[in-house]
Amino acid sequence: MSGIKSLFPRYVTEFAYLDNATQNPIPLQAIEQIKSQYHEGIFGSETSIHSFGRKTLECIEESKEKIVSFFGIAGQKISFMPNRDYAINSMLNALFFNCKIGRIIVSVYDDVSILAPVIGLNKKFGCKVKFVDEMKENWENVLAEANPRTLIVVGHMSTGTGLKRNIKKIIELCNLKGYKSIVDFSFSGMFQETVALLNEPTVGILDFSKSLLSPQGVCIAIASENISPFLLGSNNVVGFAENGEVIYGSSLYEMGTAFMPQFFVVPHCLDVVKRYSNQFEAALSRTRDSYLKEIEMTDRFSLIANRFESEDFVDNGSHIITFSITEGSAHDFAIVGNEVSKVCVRSGLSCMYMGAERLRLNDFVQLSFHLYNDRDDYEKFRIAIDAYEQMG
């Protein structure tokens, strides 16, 4: 994977950036493209008939075509939205009301972007919710007890635990029994298996900023059937409207404008992913596992993934590691690592509040790797661990 860092801003080399599941850096080529678009006047509304509007619309259609081609999905199935929170909320509401959903099933080990709108439907409309604890239950048994008016909302990755679900099996069970499903693939978009599965659930969600080296502001919802997404509320105030205050939308930007300069550069970001993703997948598990053994990670910290033995999680392939610190604070570790060896990690609860409560965790550290992370980054992380332990 040598040489990939040269495709990114200088700070990717100076720092060990291991917080990619929150937001990943974008390639230099994409940054330059954003600059040039403003200089060239690509900033108008695509609905305007003047020259700036027509130019913007032309760029939108060109980018859309490239994105559709990359994932091999039919263009009419795609809704473009600003982020995964918006996409999950709007598609969840659409299925809940249009399909008369009576029960929603979610995992306690997913994050607030998935759980919050589900809890909102429960409180506002009395929808029944089943919270799956994957330490004690498996999806096959849970789904066997469901009824036809069931909706499953789940992430491919459980970012708080660092585990990748056997999502293919879960989707197959849903489709076999005729249940609706929303699967969030945002954190696993760089993996080949994700591309192959996007069309399989009722709705697949993919936020490009979480795994596809793209800037914030662009997310797609891929529907396997004709669904008109809508929100409760207006603009970005989601889920707080009174009964009947519903906004429908189906065209490219009716559901909330994706930030256009970012949208236009997504194809450049996908080009980098396409070039290097196979190498990344091949090296990921081998490099990660050997490194953890080398620095005696399991002896020094408690890996959250080790608490789970569920068959619903795959054994390898995750690019995320989460661990708790028995004596000390995750925030303290993050600060020490950043100051001593320029390591950037996420600390806190990674928005997995319900799961953290079940696991009795006050906080934890999350490492998330991407294409450009190399041996130097692992070494900086080791130095951070040593420095933190020396501080007592």
Tell me how far apart the alpha carbons of residues 311 and 89 are, in angstroms, rounded to a whole number: 29
- Give me the domain span that covers residue 238: 31-263
Report which of 228, 95, 239, 194 is spatially closest to residue 153, judged by C-alpha positions.
95
User: What is the CB neighbour count within 10 angstroms for residue 210?
Assistant: 26
Which pair of structure tokens corresponds to residue 385? 């661990």
Judgement on whether residues 193 and 232 belong to the same structural domain of the protein: yes
Residue 269 lies in a domain: no
Residue of 125, 132, 135, 156 whose CA lies nearest to 146: 132
Q: Are residues 11 and 56 in the same domain?
A: no
> Pairing mode, if any, of strands 246-248 and 230-234?
antiparallel
Query: In CATH, what number is assigned to the domain containing residue 229?
Result: 3.40.640.10
Domain final position from 216, 240, 263: 263
On whether both 234 and 103 belong to a single domain, the answer is yes
Residue 297 maps to a domain: yes
239 vs 86: CA distance, rounded Å: 10
Type and span of the H or E element at 293? helix 260-294
173: in domain: yes
> How many CA atoms lie within 13 Å of 65's alpha carbon, on the beta-carbon side?
6
Give 372-385 pLDDT, tens digit per residue: 888 888 889 999 99
Task: Tell whether 192 is covered by a domain.
Answer: yes
The predicted structure's pLDDT at residue 334: 96
Q: 95 near 69, Cβ under 8 Å?
A: no
Residue with tokens 């760029």: 59
Query: pTM score, two decimals?
Result: 0.90
Count the domains in the chain: 2
Task: Tell the burial category of 144 from Cβ atoms under 10 Å away from its Cβ (0-12, 13-18, 19+).
Answer: exposed
Same domain, 148 and 257: yes
Tell me, what CATH number does 356's domain have? 3.90.1150.10
Q: β-strand 103-107 against 150-155: which pairing, if any?
A: parallel
The residue among 223, 239, 263 that closes a domain is 263
Whether residue 82 sits in one domain with residue 221: yes
**Nearest residue to 151 via CA among 120, 177, 124:** 177
3 state DSSP class of 154:
strand
CA distance 375 to 165: 27
Same domain, 247 and 305: no
Q: Are 185 and 40 in contact (CB under 8 A)?
A: no
Q: Are residues 172 and 146 in the same domain?
A: yes
- Single residue among 203, 238, 263 that ends a domain in this structure: 263
Tell me whether residue 381 is in a domain: yes
In this structure, the answer to whether residues 290 and 205 fall within a common structural domain is no
Residue 105 lies in a domain: yes
CA angle 373, 301, 352 (to 5 degrees): 75
pLDDT tens, 292-343? 677 777 677 888 988 998 888 886 678 899 999 887 899 999 999 999 999 9
Q: Which residues of the chain have pLDDT under 70?
A: 1-2, 43-44, 75-76, 228-261, 285-289, 292, 298, 315-316, 392
Using one digit for the tens of pLDDT, what is the confidence trace for 108-119?
999 999 999 999
- At residue 363, the pLDDT reads 95
* Beta-bridge mates of residue 208: none
Are 82 and 259 a contacting pair, CB within 8 Å?
yes
Residues 16 and 45 reside in one and the same domain: no
In a domain, 270, yes or no: no
Q: Are residues 87 and 208 in the same domain?
A: yes
- In this structure, the answer to whether residues 217 and 293 fall within a common structural domain is no
Do 309 and 376 reside in the same domain of the chain? yes
Place of tokens 């990674």: 350
> Helix, strand, or coil here: 223?
strand
Let me know if residue 268 belongs to a domain: no
Using CA atoms, how far apart are residues 234 and 219, in angstroms rounded to an integer?
19
